[in-house]
């Protein structure tokens, strides 16, 4: 999960969110990180009612699409605003084209149905029978025609969502305990996004690395289903000034030896579980623990910056890149971009990395060398932002006998495993 950075705002929570935390999972102290066995079986505090949280997520699958392919392998209904019934069929919906007119008043077309702009919901009689393009999904599908194209959103219970996430985030061969740890971090991340941002937008999470990679029904392998069911309702929390709260459980593929603070790469204050500095000798065998030198031409760098950031729209050339600071772990924190006229711009190193392509420039842990017409990123280490749990490090710990609870306590220091719902 290489999460783009949210708009700058203080890390505070309203009191309404405090009911999220009901009871803690009992864990032995992780002093010395011994490999002794521990349980993550949830133990609820007596006398506490279950939280009245809406456990359905809005997962944005498509935005601005010119067309989509939709099918339902069974009976279905199509409902409009206020759940008004627009159409229904006792027969399957054969694969059909979904499109929208390009007029100022978009008309949504689903096969032979013309449904206005929407949004409309495709409600199957049987769960897991909806197919959008080449993937199948549980829950319902919301589709809306907009001036910029089609928006498609999967409305699905969080536990079903997680079963479609784990194989998008972890290789199939990873250890059972790694899958357990990933289920808890993914659940916490999704709930945090819903509670923190859901009221301000028409989706809770995206289906890509911008949030978490969600594949849907076809990702529900044995390990994923077992991990989600085994950890059902368990989230990570921390002792905030306002009481115990969940937090955004960022994670990345490979930290390269040590995690870094969220404050170095995101416009958020540092909190103890995301303060970084966690030593990780466990990811040394990761494919991208170290990576080969990357050469990017100055013209390419300018083009990428113009395409991602509005304040770089007038940038014609990039004459120089200057790393303004490094963390003790070796991650670049800020980069100054200087053009041919001597004008300079500053941005976070992680924002620069994502502008270059997160799969291309794999981390901000590098040494920068300038050539006549290019920049070379040498001595690269790690893959992703390096905040929170290191996925390959978690796998290394699991292979050494550590449990999911110990893994999570290691990468999110001072955090708690908490039972949020049954």
Q: For residue 199, what is the DSSP state?
A: G
Please indicate, yes or no, if residue 364 is contained in any of the structural domains. Answer: yes
Q: Which of 169, 163, 145 is nearest to 67 (CA)?
A: 145
Residues 407 and 377 in one domain: no
Q: Which of 376, 357, 397 is nearest to 255 (CA)?
A: 397
pLDDT tens-place values along the chain, 422 residues long: 644 333 233 233 333 333 344 344 433 333 344 444 455 544 334 234 334 468 999 999 999 999 999 999 999 999 999 899 999 999 999 999 999 886 667 789 999 898 887 899 999 999 999 999 999 999 999 999 988 899 999 999 999 999 999 999 999 999 999 999 999 999 999 999 999 888 899 999 999 999 999 999 999 999 999 999 999 999 999 999 988 899 999 999 999 999 999 999 998 899 999 999 999 999 999 999 999 999 999 999 999 999 999 888 888 889 999 999 999 889 999 999 999 888 889 999 999 999 999 999 999 999 999 999 999 999 999 999 999 999 999 999 999 999 999 999 999 999 999 999 88
Residues 342 and 411 in one domain: no
Please indicate, yes or no, if residue 3 is contained in any of the structural domains. Answer: no
CB proximity list for 263: less than 8 A, separation 6 or greater: 269, 270
- Side-chain-side CA neighbours of residue 340 (13 Å): 9
Please indicate, yes or no, if residue 5 is contained in any of the structural domains. Answer: no
Q: What residue spans of 328-415 are helical by DSSP H?
A: 349-356, 391-399, 404-411
Residues 64 and 139 in one domain: yes
Domain count, the chain: 3
Tokens of 199: 């009221």
Report the DSSP beta bridge partners of residue 325.
Answer: 334
Residues 360 and 413 in one domain: no
CB proximity list for 317: less than 8 A, separation 6 or greater: 298, 299, 302, 339, 340
Residues 86 and 225 in one domain: no
Please indicate, yes or no, if residue 172 is contained in any of the structural domains. Answer: no
Please indicate, yes or no, if residue 274 is contained in any of the structural domains. Answer: no
Residues 81 and 148 in one domain: yes
Handedness of CA 84, 87, 92, 98 (dihedral sign): negative
Of 128, 159, 190, the residue at which a domain comes to its end is 159
Residues 228 and 83 in one domain: no
Residues 31 and 44 in one domain: yes
Contact at 8 Å (CB) between 399 and 175? Answer: yes
Q: What is the DSSP string of 333-379?
A: EEEEEE-TTS-EEEEEHHHHHHHH-TTTS--SB-EEEE-SSEEEEES
Domain that holds residue 249: 15-52+177-264+387-419
Contact at 8 Å (CB) between 195 and 420? Answer: no
Residues 338 and 367 in one domain: yes
Report the DSSP beta bridge partners of residue 122.
Answer: 78, 141
């Amino acid at each position: 999960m290489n999460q783009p950075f949210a708009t700058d705002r203080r890390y505070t929570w309203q009191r309404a969110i405090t009911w999220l935390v009901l009871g803690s999972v009992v864990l032995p102290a992780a002093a010395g990180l011994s490999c002794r066995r521990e349980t993550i079986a949830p133990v609820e505090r007596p006398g506490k009612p279950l939280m009245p949280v809406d456990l359905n997520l809005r997962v944005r699958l498509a935005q601005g699409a010119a067309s989509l392919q939709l099918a339902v392998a069974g009976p279905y209904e199509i409902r409009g605003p206020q759940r008004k019934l627009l159409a229904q069929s006792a027969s399957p919906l054969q694969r059909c084209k979904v499109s929208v007119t390009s007029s100022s008043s978009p008309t949504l077309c689903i096969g032979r149905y013309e449904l206005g702009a929407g949004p409309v919901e495709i409600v199957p009689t049987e769960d897991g029978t909806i197919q959008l393009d080449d993937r199948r999904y549980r829950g319902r599908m919301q589709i809306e025609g907009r001036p910029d194209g089609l928006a498609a959103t999967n409305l699905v219970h969080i536990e079903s969502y997680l079963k479609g996430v784990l194989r998008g985030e972890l290789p199939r061969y990873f250890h059972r305990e790694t899958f357990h740890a990933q289920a808890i971090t993914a659940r916490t991340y999704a709930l945090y996004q819903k509670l923190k941002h859901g009221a301000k937008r028409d989706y809770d999470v995206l289906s890509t690395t911008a949030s978490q990679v969600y594949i849907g029904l076809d990702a529900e392998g044995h390990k994923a289903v077992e991990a989600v069911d085994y950890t059902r309702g368990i989230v990570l929390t921390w002792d905030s000034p306002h009481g115990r709260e969940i937090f955004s459980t960022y994670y990345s593929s490979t930290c390269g030896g040590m995690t870094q603070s969220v404050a170095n790469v995101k416009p958020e204050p540092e909190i103890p579980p995301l303060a970084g500095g966690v030593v990780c000798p466990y990811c040394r065998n990761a494919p991208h623990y170290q990576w080969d030198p990357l050469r990017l031409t100055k013209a390419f760098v300018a083009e990428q910056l113009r395409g991602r950031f509005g304040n770089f729209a007038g940038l014609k050339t990039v004459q120089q890149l200057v790393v303004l600071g490094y963390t003790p772990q070796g991650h670049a924190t800020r980069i100054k971009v200087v053009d041919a006229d001597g004008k300079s711009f500053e941005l976070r190193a992680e924002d620069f990395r994502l502008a270059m392509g997160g799969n291309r420039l794999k981390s901000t842990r590098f040494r920068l060398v300038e050539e006549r017409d290019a920049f070379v990123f040498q001595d690269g280490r790690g893959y992703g932002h390096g905040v929170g749990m290191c996925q390959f490090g978690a796998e290394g710990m699991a292979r050494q006998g550590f449990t999911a609870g110990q893994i999570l306590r290691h990468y999110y220091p001072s955090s708690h495993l908490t039972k949020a719902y049954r």
